[in-house]
Homo-oligomer: A and B are copies of this chain.
């Protein structure tokens, strides 16, 4: 059978319908930011809002004729059968959980883009060789339970199911109990058979595409990511009466680590290291008491594995130095670690080809953020399509915005790529 390459007009996605789905899902968990008056989205994984979002998307998947299965970690797959049902599916997907201060796009674009692709395939009466599946994965953000890409990591076997169930949020609530509570602890086995290929459409969440004026991005991989949670145990003391030399100030220790990490990033000695100390919880957090305890997070990113390792080693050694200097006991827990991911060159080239075919421009770029695609890349040919965002690509923020046209561009290319991939014989496994 001859692959149908380059035929991009046969399945035309519906821009308005895609936009409408994005806007409808964004109504769930929506809030108004106090300071800016902007409308944002808060659908932290496995909260009531996330469960409501999941219910809506499952309903839409079913209405589009997909057979929906839910696996043991709550990942949801909607299957469109192919002509050759024994072939592995072409999988597209992303996530619909969000950070607490999100916009309408992020992972939703990949999931609702997949839905729009299926709706359009149905309208066109397209029959594919391979089955096509649209998935959304549990707790991609990692903000609630501390580990990002949790659902897809369990699906590919990087993290164990029991380990994932046992993870807790800040109140000690477990992933397992929340899945039970919302009825999303499904029966389908969580470990998936290798798909034929995995393609994810996502907003860029950065300034590269908009600053270079390119319509879409072909993502070549994901930089290495290391997440640690530091617990700094000092000693409470009265701010007025305790001499400085008798203090064990957990806040000072945290500040030293923060400035050191930024110095490391600035130094250039660790490649293109990015550091973020995003969460800082001090206790007792009172004006006139020396901080007794701080829990903070360290997010390191690096396009080089070697530099990442150097940075982690230097951090470990600096924590010992700070501990010795301040008398603050410091423990570091690795909460997430994903190596540098290199995507599949064939899938990348196919994406680039499809972008050219519809007359759009593209850049190839490495993703700064982690994505479910990074997990899938360990079991099947994988790549991603990036859609540019306005305002320097700001995301995880109510200002996050991609135009209806940009979203439709990404989803049209996704559809065209999947159409080719699901035609038997195109991509070698």
Residues of A within 8 A of B (CB): 99-101, 141-143, 146, 148, 204-207, 223, 225, 227, 236-244, 246, 249, 251-252, 254-256, 258-259, 262, 265-266, 273-282, 284-291, 297, 299, 301, 335, 367-370, 392-397
Contacts and interface: CB of A to CB of B under 8 A. Distances in A.
A225 B241 CA distance: 11
B266 A290 contact: no
A251 B241 CA distance: 28
Given A206-B242, A239-B369, A240-B299, 13 more contacts: A99-B286, A101-B289, A146-B287, A238-B396, A241-B369, A244-B265, A249-B262, A254-B255, A255-B255, A256-B259, A278-B288, A288-B299, A288-B369
Given A276-B290, A287-B142, A291-B278, A395 B238 contact: yes
A298 to B, nearest CB: 9
Contacts of A299: 239-240, 287-288
Contacts of A146: 287
B394 A236 contact: yes
A11 to B, nearest CB: 31
A137 B239 CA distance: 21
A288 B143 contact: yes
Given A100-B284, A142-B288, A289-B101, A370 B240 contact: yes
A227 B148 contact: no
9 contacts: A99-B286, A100-B284, A207-B241, A240-B368, A255-B255, A276-B289, A278-B291, A279-B282, A280-B285
A100 B265 CA distance: 38
B205 A238 contact: yes
Contacts of A205: 238, 240-241
A284 to B, nearest CB: 5
A258 B237 CA distance: 17
Contact of A284 (B99, B236, B266, B392): B99
Given A252-B262, A395-B238, A143 B286 contact: yes
Contacts of A273: 244
B236 A287 contact: no
Contacts of A225: 240
Nearest to A242: B206
A238 B101 contact: no
Contact of A242 (B241, B255, B285, B368): B368
A209 to B, nearest CB: 11
Given A205-B241, A238-B205, A282 B280 contact: yes
A69 to B, nearest CB: 30
A288 B148 contact: yes
B240 A367 contact: yes
Contact of A240 (B244, B284, B297, B301): B301
Chain B CB within 10 A, most for which of A286, A290, A369: A286
A287 B333 CA distance: 14
Which 5 pairs across A and B sit closest by C-beta, in order of nearness? A206-B241, A241-B368, A255-B258, A239-B276, A240-B369
A258 B101 CA distance: 27
Nearest to A148: B288
Contacts of A251: 258, 277-278, 280
Chain B CB within 10 A, most for which of A206, A225, A238: A238
Given A101-B236, A396-B236, A241 B204 contact: yes
Contact of A259 (B252, B393, B397): B252
A194 to B, nearest CB: 26
Nearest to A284: B101
